[in-house]
Amino acid sequence: MPTVLDPDLRRALAERVRYCHEMGIYDFYRRERPVSDSVPVASAVAEIDDLSPPLQELREEMPAKKSTVAAKPANESSLPILTPHPEQAVTDPVAALKLIREDLGDCTRCKLHKQGRKQIVFGVGNPRAELMFVGEGPGADEDTQGEPFVGRAGQLLNNMIKAMGIRREDVYIANVVKCRPPGNRTPERDETETCSPFLMRQIAVVKPKVVVALGAVAAKNLLAMNASMSELRGRFYDFVPAGARSSDPSWQGTKLAVTYHPAFLLRDPRQKGEAWKDLQMVMKFLGLEPPKKSE
């Protein structure tokens, strides 16, 4: 006689199947208390040059979800299925990232491959980085060179990293989507849902101590929540890349912080001071000191 499933279990199984079909991988998080300590802003902001012109303002296309209340811890039945990936059997992050790139291939999984992209922009930087930056998607310069953040916004990001007392080569940089959306438009939901599993796998391989989401699109896709930047900024989130597992069983996730996208700072340089406060919070956590001014 067939077993009759408990209604709650049936719903949980149905959700898992839907998850696999739609590849809608999102994260469970817990908010921490905001860090209130601050360091003088003016001298560091001076390092972040104004490189205008303006770029298209980031649009927000995620389902509404209250962000002022901490998320409830996920129970086992609500967690997504962790599909085995080849990089989980590799301990060398260089080799593991190569396996993810090979799995991505000449990707045709979403419509962006038909909309004028020149090449896939996978990621760049230190595969053992303690700090990882995640942006929205490649622009024209990135699409041409095959590397994230190499245009004007990338120059500004380089200055932000330098102001933290580290080099671009010390961090790892990637985007939510790896193909340039036409006209630098905001990636659509089906595009981010298709591409984000590869980003999650990259995070699980690099195992950073902190991930910094650059802008609202990156933040909302990583945190699976809809809120203003003022609500998202100023605190750490406990973050585990959904649907991906690290080869290191001792790695239980990372801290995630949110700040403005460099493209937004090009539009509104007045917010550079606020972005520096966000970076100071990250620096304090990582024990970083800004470079001393030469006499």
Residue 63 lies inside a defined structural domain of this protein: no
Q: Tell me, what's the pLDDT at 47?
A: 54
Predicted confidence band of residue 12 (pLDDT cuts 50, 70, 90): low
Could you give the CA distance from residue 217 to residue 220 in angstroms, rounded to a whole number? 5
Q: Give CA angle at 160 (154, 162), nearest 5°.
A: 105
Which is it for strands 237-239 and 30-31: parallel, antiparallel or unpaired? antiparallel
Residue 60 lies inside a defined structural domain of this protein: no
Res. 267: pLDDT tops 50:
yes
Res. 19: pLDDT tops 70:
no
What residues are paired with 173 via a beta bridge?
124, 133
Q: Which structural domain, as residue segments, surrounds residue 96? A: 31-53+81-286
Q: Give CA angle at 184 (157, 218), nearest 5°.
A: 55
Res. 245: pLDDT tops 70:
yes
The CATH number of whichever domain residue 169 belongs to comes to 3.40.470.10
Could you give the CA distance from residue 210 to residue 151 in angstroms, rounded to a whole number? 24
pLDDT tens sequence across 60-111: 333 333 333 333 333 444 444 556 899 999 999 999 999 999 999 999 999 9
Could you give the CA distance from residue 127 to residue 251 in angstroms, rounded to a whole number? 15
Could you give the CA distance from residue 232 to residue 91 in angstroms, rounded to a whole number? 34
Q: Tell me, what's the pLDDT at 293?
A: 76
Mean pLDDT of 231-256: 94
Q: Tell me, what's the pLDDT at 2?
A: 45
pLDDT tens sequence across 28-61: 334 444 444 445 565 555 555 544 343 333 333 3
Residue 16 lies inside a defined structural domain of this protein: no
Mean pLDDT of 258-284: 97
Mean pLDDT of 165-171: 97
Mean pLDDT of 162-186: 97
Residue 294 lies inside a defined structural domain of this protein: no
Residue 14 lies inside a defined structural domain of this protein: no
Mean pLDDT of 145-156: 97
Res. 208: pLDDT tops 80:
yes
Q: Diameter of the chain by CA atoms? A: 84
Phi-psi region of 265 (alpha: psi -120 to 50; beta: other; left: phi over 0): alpha
Residue 293 lies inside a defined structural domain of this protein: no
Residues 218-243: b if buried by 16+ CB within 10 A, e if exposed: bbbbbbbbbbebeebbbbbbbbbbbb
Residue 199 lies inside a defined structural domain of this protein: yes
Taking Cα atoms as reference points, which of 86, 186, 69 lies closest to residue 139? 186
Cβ atoms within 10 Å, residue 280: 21
Could you give the CA distance from residue 137 to residue 217 in angstroms, rounded to a whole number? 9
> How long, in residues, is the chain?
295
Contact by Cβ (8 Å): 142, 102: no
Residues 173-194: b if buried by 16+ CB within 10 A, e if exposed: bbbbbbbbbeeeebbeeebbbb
Which residues touch 97 (CB under 8 Å, ≥6 apart)?
87, 123, 127, 202, 205, 206
In the numeric block, which tokens belong to residue 114?
Answer: 């038909």
Res. 217: pLDDT tops 90:
yes
How many domains is the chain partitioned into structurally? Answer: 1
Residue 295 lies inside a defined structural domain of this protein: no
Mean pLDDT of 156-163: 98
pTM: 0.76
H or E, element range at 210: strand 210-214
Contact by Cβ (8 Å): 261, 189: no
Taking Cα atoms as reference points, which of 295, 294, 292, 291 lies closest to residue 162? 291
